[in-house]
Amino acid sequence: MNYFSSNFKLGILGGGQLGKMMLYDTRKFDIYTCVLDPSPEAPSRLACDEFNVGDLMDYDTVINFGKNVDVLTIEIENVNVDALETLEKQDVKVFPSSKTLRTIQNKATQKLFYRDNNIPTADFMRFSDSSKINKVVDNGDLVFPFVWKSARFGYDGTGVKVVRNENDLVDLPNVECITEKLIPFKNELAVIVARNEIGDVKTYPVVEMEFHPEANQVEYVICPARIPDAISQKAETVALKVASAFEHVGLLAVEMFQTENDDILVNEVAPRPHNSGHYSIEASYTSQFEQQIRCVLGLPLGDTKSKVAGVMVNLVGADGHTGDVVYKNIDKILAMEGVTPHIYGKKQTRPFRKMGHVTIVNKDVAVARKVAEKVKKSIAVICE
């Protein structure tokens, strides 16, 4: 099929920053794109060929959108899976598949999938609602501390809480959930796997993630991870096993823990471009966003190696600031060598909302990490 400068239409469910960055590459290739998002102010609205406003969880809306495109992909996994399944039966190519998304959308079914496929993950328990946890704690079958996760609709630190005592149980939302054993770990790692329909597969280098202690959001992504080669190989092997088990088509970001004993445990996955791969726009031969397009269109996979070391800093709304966004001191970071900011196009900031990111590249990862610290201290996302 001729995808370039043709009548072919690529549909993207979701018009947030991930979609926007994917559209950089569809414009480079002159691939006609249609985007569906619930917000008329979505970041992707200016970069696609057709922008549609609609509810991603509404069956009819997704059906009507999907039947007018040739290939349908996502930039967010919270979409109507029943609609995707119907579209597949109508011979619309949907990547990732409805089957994969149905499993991943729910953290309980995701964890059961790991258990069924002998993929290493933290011990867990599942609950129809959070009120059932108290009885299990009282019986002694669940001991503090542990991690509580909402089964559905968690993102960027929401829907996750470390439960250290009975007081922490009081304000939990009463929803379907899981609890996980709290794992002592050395590092939080991630591997992005690129896989196409015929099973060609490549992995990006293992990255290391440093988290904000309050918001439970990634503050820094460091590539390459500062870990021994043997640990990197072990992480890549686990990530490849996960992608193969899902028979995934597209990008799969596999988040993992490196335990104190150097075991690798899968935390969770994202079946799309991911925050842990943003560094690749500047640092890799093929960015994760171009790779997603190559995967879903069945094009040859690009080179995943890094040209230089890269560190990514998330730009999130400052605590106590809600309103029209201002990027304070952005001129200072623009003057730093190897620094590239990406502003997502969200007009309103609020505490810890992802508003952009900054990539720092250098031949030496230690130097890049030091510059990243300066970037973090210099720039602030505030309101007027």
Total-model pTM: 0.96
Structure tokens, 17? 């920053």
Q: Is 362 annotated as a binding residue?
A: no
Q: Is 373 annotated as a binding residue?
A: no
Q: Which CATH number does the domain 185-383 belong to among 3.40.50.720, 3.40.50.300, 3.30.470.20, 3.40.920.10?
A: 3.30.470.20
HSE, side-chain direction, 13 A CA sphere, residue 134? 10
Chain centroid to CA 269: 8
Instruction: Please give the average per-residue pLDDT across 70-78, as a whole number.
Output: 97
Question: For helices 288-297 and 17-29, what crossing angle results, to 10°?
Answer: 70
| Percent share of the chain, pLDDT over 90 | 94
Cβ pair 72, 91 in contact under 8 A = no
Integer Cα distance of 56 and 61 in angstroms: 7
Q: Is 188 annotated as a binding residue?
A: yes
Q: Is 31 annotated as a binding residue?
A: no
Integer Cα distance of 361 and 279 in angstroms: 8
Q: Could you tell me which of 228, 226, 229 has the C-alpha nearest to residue 209?
A: 226
pLDDT recorded at residue 171: 86
pLDDT recorded at residue 155: 64
pLDDT recorded at residue 69: 98
Indicate the DSSP class of residue 295: H
Cβ pair 384, 326 in contact under 8 A = yes
Q: What architecture is the 123-181 domain classified under in CATH?
A: 2-Layer Sandwich (3.30)
Instruction: Please give the average per-residue pLDDT across 30-53, as a whole number.
Output: 97
CATH of the domain spanning 9-94? 3.40.50.20
pLDDT recorded at residue 384: 80
Instruction: Please give the average per-residue pLDDT across 282-298, as a whole number.
Output: 98
Instruction: Please give the average per-residue pLDDT across 79-96, as a whole number.
Output: 98
Q: Is 149 annotated as a binding residue?
A: yes
Integer Cα distance of 358 and 372 in angstroms: 8
- Mode of pairing for the β-strands spanning 207-211 and 250-259: unpaired
Sheet with 71-74: strands ordered across: 50-53, 32-37, 9-13, 71-74, 93-94
Query: Where along the chain do its domains lie?
Result: 9-94, 123-181, 185-383
Instruction: Please give the average per-residue pLDDT across 179-199, as a whole number.
Output: 96
The per-residue pLDDT for range 112-123, each reduced to its tens digit, is: 999 999 999 999
* pLDDT level of residue 215 (50, 70, 90 thresholds): low
Residue 216, pLDDT > 80, answer: no
Cβ pair 47, 15 in contact under 8 A = no
Q: Is 183 annotated as a binding residue?
A: yes
Integer Cα distance of 135 and 105 in angstroms: 27
pLDDT recorded at residue 275: 95
HSE, side-chain direction, 13 A CA sphere, residue 118? 0
* pLDDT level of residue 212 (50, 70, 90 thresholds): confident
Give SS3 for 291: helix
* pLDDT level of residue 219 (50, 70, 90 thresholds): confident
The per-residue pLDDT for range 312-356, each reduced to its tens digit, is: 999 999 999 999 999 999 999 999 999 999 999 999 999 999 999
Instruction: Tell me the average pLDDT of the chain.
Output: 95
Residue 156, pLDDT > 90, answer: no
Q: Is 84 annotated as a binding residue?
A: no
Residue 158, pLDDT > 90, answer: no
pLDDT recorded at residue 154: 72
